[in-house]
Amino acid sequence: MDEKVYFRLSYETMTGDTEDFINACIERANRADCNDTDAEITRARSTIELWYCLALAGRAPDDVADRDHLRFTEMLLRAPTAEQRACQL
């Protein structure tokens, strides 16, 4: 890409879209017909790390980005494990 492309994306929009994506990954992982639960959780973890890098690159205040990073991580930690899902069947 020879030309730089600029666009505006608010912290709130990026954070909300990221939260929606993480929730979708968790929902797919919890479905009985999910072929690769680990891949869905890994996708969510990777999304959190990318979001964090972009938040810091966009100069979000560290305390705000750290708080949301922790919140996203806790979302994943609250998601049922493979063993818990197996017990529900």
Range of weakest confidence among 2-16, 51-65, 73-87: 73-87
4, part of any domain: no
Backbone CA torsion sign across 12, 14, 17, 20: negative
Question: For residue range 7-56, what is the model confidence (pLDDT) as tens digits?
Answer: 899 999 999 999 999 999 999 999 989 889 999 999 999 999 999 999 99
79 within domain boundaries: yes
Give the pLDDT score at 14.
98
**pLDDT at 80 (0 to 100):** 74
Which runs of consecutive H residues, i.e. helices, occur in the chain? 11-30, 37-57, 62-78, 82-88
Answer whether residue 64 is part of any domain.
Answer: yes
pLDDT at residue 10, as a whole number: 97
* Domain residue limits at 24: 11-88
Flag whether pLDDT at 81 surpasses 90.
Answer: no
- Counted domains in the chain: 1
